[in-house]
Amino acid sequence: MKDTLMVYYSLNGNSAFAAEELMKHIDMDVERLKVRNEPKTRGFGKFLKGGAAALRGSDPGLWPVVADPQDYYEIVIAFPVWAGTYPPAIGAFLKQKPFRGKSVYLIGCSASGNAEGAFGKLTDALQGNTVLGTLSLKNPLKNKEEAAEEIRVFAARRH
Ligand SMILES: Cc1cc2nc3c(=O)[nH]c(=O)nc-3n(C[C@H](O)[C@H](O)[C@H](O)COP(=O)(O)O)c2cc1C
């Protein structure tokens, strides 16, 4: 059994930034989720399309995930909040590579700084696992230093 797997999805780079910062503090395997169907439109259309897809839990066309979460004690999931929930890429990951009995940590990036609803919904979807910690980040790319510090503290406290 290996220690930690981090899986993350990022459309605009904020969750990718969070993931890369966490990698500075925790030695872990990392997989970035890639999907075929992303909201391509700019501006408000992106929010409408992506938000509707998140609410429907529609299939984003997730590329095959290489890592098997069952091989790890601990799973970290980092993602952007879409329409108050987790994006389709994360839902598709849970379907493609189901796992149980793991310690799970969640990192949610949002424009509002409020990821609680998304954490609640994802915790429901992670039934059979134990969510031990969450970190909510407000658009970390807009305030990299503060976000990096929050991530450092989160990494230090995670056990
Ligand atoms: C489709 C879509 C829906 C979003 N819905 C929300 C939301 O409900 N609440 C919120 O605070 N931010 C929302 N946002 C903003 C993102 O969560 C935020 O910008 C996040 O940092 C983006 O992460 P990323 O760069 O890793 O994609 C939404 C963004 C997109 C593209």
Sheet strand arrangement including 130-138: 29-32, 2-8, 72-80, 103-110, 130-138
Residue 152 binned pLDDT confidence (cut-offs 50, 70, 90): very high
CA atoms of 157 and 159, how far apart (whole Å): 6
Minimum CA distance residue for ligand 1 atom 20: 110
CA atoms of 78 and 158, how far apart (whole Å): 15
Within 13 A of 159's CA, how many CA atoms are on the CB side?
6
Within 13 A of 146's CA, how many CA atoms are on the CB side?
8
Distance from Cα 142 to the centre of ligand 1, integer Å: 13
Domain boundaries 2-157, corresponding CATH code = 3.40.50.360
- Ligand 1 atom nearest the C-alpha of 81 is 17
Residue 39 binned pLDDT confidence (cut-offs 50, 70, 90): confident
Give the pLDDT confidence of 85-140 residue by residue, as tens digits.
Answer: 999 999 999 999 999 999 999 999 999 999 999 999 999 999 999 999 999 999 99
* Secondary structure class of 17 (helix, strand, coil): helix
Q: What is the pLDDT of residue 125?
A: 98
Tell whether ligand 1 has an atom less than 6 A from the beta carbon of residue 117.
no
Q: What is the pLDDT of residue 36?
A: 96
Residue 8, φ and ψ in degrees, nearest 5: -140, 155
Give the pLDDT confidence of 47-64 residue by residue, as tens digits.
Answer: 999 999 999 999 999 999
CA atoms of 123 and 59, how far apart (whole Å): 20
Minimum CA distance residue for ligand 1 atom 4: 82
